[in-house]
Amino acid sequence: NVVPTSVKINLINMLAETGLQVIEATSFVSPKWVPQMADHTEVMQGINKLPGISYPVLTPNLKGFQAAVAAGAKEVSIFGAASELFTKKNINCSIEESLERFDEVMTAAKAASIPVRGYVSCVLGCPYEGKISAAKVAEVSKKMYSMGCYEISLGDTIGIGTPGSMKEMLTAVMKEVPVGALAVHCHDTYGQALANILIALQMGVSVVDASVAGLGGCPYAQGASGNVATEDLVYMLNGLGIHTGVDLQKLMDTGTYICNALNRRTNSKVSQASCRL
Amino acid sequence: QESQASGLPEYIKIVEVGPRDGLQNEKVIVPTDIKIELINRLSKTGLPAIEVTSFVSSKWVPQMADHKEVMKGIERHPGVQYPVLTPNLQGFHSAIAAGATEVSVFGAASESFSKMNINCSIEESIEKFEEVAKSARNMNIPVRGYVSCALGCPYEGNIIPAKVAEVSKRLYSMGCYEISLGDTIGVGTPGSMKRMLEAVMKEIPLSALAVHCHDTYGQALANILTAIQMGVAVVDSSVAGLGGCPYAKGATGNVATEDVIYMLNGLGINTGVNLYTVMEAGNFICTALNKKTNSKVAQASFNTGTIN
């Protein structure tokens, strides 16, 4: 269901009050491909941008980048993949060709002093190719980092990874990209997300992507879950004594808001549990 | 080789608690023949231990009223243990008469929980268990000890690790061959799991420890990972994640066996269990209960038609 622009703006504004420092606001992609993000300009211009908070947006190509900057974006993201087949099916070109497109974005971004975050999809497995070699992930990550991305978010796109494959993949990537520039983006499709994140933290990764209420299913497994819930992640980090600056109660309230607006149940277990401790 | 290099156990014993802990916390009363069918299916998956039923008064736990029939009705596969709960001597005798060859006793690290759950203090409960342990020893029946509220209590809140260690030590000293540490309300995190295990490991040998994690706050697999990184090699779980949390309405309870095995497989740790057959058993019981599975692996696999 397409979410009304006002609801999106409310959501982002509420998230900005929780202590989160980075909120991915929208995607400057053609509405033909992603109707849900058709209101990207309105959202970007409608949100209340708080100081100290970054609102990156996706920009798949130069055109998207220019539209984003015109709408007020101060940070952008580009999405690569460690799988040739996934790249072909997703954006209809090879990995090499996609990196060439991104190069144009990088050049323009550098000129405008706009930081660029790079995502690598399918780092622990691909819905089409199956197993993905850690070396391939390291290779694509290195290329994107060398291009000028300040951070590389490694995405377990179909949630198939386990602490075993996470460790193997990170070991390879950390040979090419400094750990301070790495992030993990784990999906919880097989329930492995928090365990995978824990391993990444143990290896020195200190940037983690998550989605309030675990919004976002898996397009490759009907009915299965996708993103890991920010509430569940923060709960774990709090228990580990790791500082995030995020207020869990405010975050849960935000999750409640968006789930009510979407008329759906939360995917966050912390939210579901009514036990008060 | 993979698991060894990382300092993890090479083999982990999975104790399947679905037919008892799982079903006990499901609202629908399950017919005896369905329970028996479930256990028989689980017996064929490679699981080394399956908690079958509870010899407790049917007044308290109606779901387990058919304990005798279940015990007598199941197929007993060689190499598989079929422990049953025995809260007191009467239950123990009843269990033995019905053919049980292993029993479990349930202690708690919280006085309030002990009082609310079994209407006596921790000390009084230990005395009852000692009677069971004594009889069991005389008959060469192994006894497993559970410690509830190891990472938090629904009434007392925080539970100190030293208390968990103390209760564990009492159970171990009376002859329990294994102590299963239960995060009864799933509030634990890798932080509190580590602190608790450090305290308990001072009193009990690692090889006698098991973890029984609930996934109420989504922390179970991360907590289990922490435990196995510390050398724990026995993990309790429930097929399809059967068994909600009686203290948090609508929340989940037991961690799903399928999801645990998926993680252990990915870590190169041997369990002897065939994931696919466990998923099939999970599918059977969920269909019988007319409910959705709590296992994410099962959800993902049955929807794509592929198992990875």
Marked catalytic residue, from B153, B176, B213, B245: B245
Name the average pLDDT for chain A: 95
Mean pLDDT for A91-112 is 95
CATH superfamily of domain region A75-209: Aldolase class I (3.20.20.70)
The predicted complex's ipTM stands at 0.94
Per-residue pLDDT tens for A200-217? Answer: 999 999 999 999 999 998
Rounded to 5 degrees, φ, ψ at B224 are -65, -40
Mean pLDDT for B277-298 is 96
Per-residue pLDDT tens for B23-34? Answer: 998 888 999 999
For domain B13-301, give the CATH number: 3.20.20.70
Measured between CB atoms, which of A190, A229, A241 is closest to B300? A190
User: Which chain B positions have a beta carbon within 8 Å of A234's beta carbon?
Assistant: none
Is residue B87 pLDDT above 50, yes or no?
yes
pLDDT (0 to 100) of residue B307:
44
Is residue A274 pLDDT above 70, yes or no?
no
User: Which chain A positions have a beta carbon within 8 Å of B159's beta carbon?
Assistant: none
Give the start-to-end residue ranges of the domains of chain B. Answer: 13-301
Per-residue pLDDT tens for A41-50? Answer: 999 999 999 9
Å between A82 CA and nearest CA of chain B: 19
Evaluate whether B23 touches B54 at the Cβ level (below 8 Å).
no
Q: Which residue of A has its CA nearest to B247?
A: A275
State the catalytic residues of A. 218
pLDDT (0 to 100) of residue B306:
46
User: Which chain A positions have a beta carbon within 8 Å of B262's beta carbon?
Assistant: 162, 190-192
Is residue A17 pLDDT above 90, yes or no?
yes
Per-residue pLDDT tens for A234-252? Answer: 999 999 999 999 999 999 9
Cβ pair A191:B187 closer than 8 A: no
Å between A266 CA and nearest CA of chain B: 12
User: Which chain A positions have a beta carbon within 8 Å of B247's beta carbon?
Assistant: 275
Measured between CB atoms, which of B185, B218, B265 is closest to A275? B185
Confidence category of residue B3, pLDDT binned at 50, 70, 90: low
Is residue A222 pLDDT above 90, yes or no?
no
Is residue B15 pLDDT above 90, yes or no?
yes
Cβ pair B219:A239 closer than 8 A: yes
Cβ pair B248:A269 closer than 8 A: no
Mean pLDDT for B179-190 is 97
User: Which chain A positions have a beta carbon within 8 Å of B265's beta carbon?
Assistant: 162
Is residue A36 pLDDT above 90, yes or no?
yes
Is residue B206 pLDDT above 90, yes or no?
yes
Give the start-to-end residue ranges of the domains of chain A. Answer: 1-74, 75-209
Residues 186-245 of A with CB under 8 A from B: 188-192, 194-195, 197-199, 218, 220-225, 229, 232, 235-236, 238-241
Q: Which residue of A has its CA nearest to B222?
A: A195
Å between B192 CA and nearest CA of chain A: 7
Confidence category of residue B112, pLDDT binned at 50, 70, 90: very high
Q: Which residue of A has its CA nearest to B301?
A: A221
Confidence category of residue A219, pLDDT binned at 50, 70, 90: confident
User: Which three-class secondary structure string do you get for chain B?
Assistant: CHHHHCCCCCECEEEECHHHHHHHCCCCCCCHHHHHHHHHHHHCCCCCEECCCECCCCCCCHHHCCHHHHHHHCCCCCCCECCEECCCHHHHHHHHHCCCCCEEEEEECCHHHHHHHHCCCHHHHHHHHHHHHHHHHHCCCCEEEEEECCCCECCCECCCHHHHHHHHHHHHHCCCCEEEEEECCCCCCHHHHHHHHHHHCCCCCHHHEEEEEECCCCCHHHHHHHHHHCCCCEEEEEHHHCCCCCCCCCCCCECEHHHHHHHHHHCCCECCCCHHHHHHHHHHHHHHHCCCCCCHHHHHHHHHCCCC
Is residue B174 pLDDT above 90, yes or no?
yes
Measured between CB atoms, which of B191, B252, B262 is closest to A239? B191
Mean pLDDT for A188-211 is 98
Share of residues in chain B with pLDDT > 90 (%): 88
Mean pLDDT for B183-198 is 97
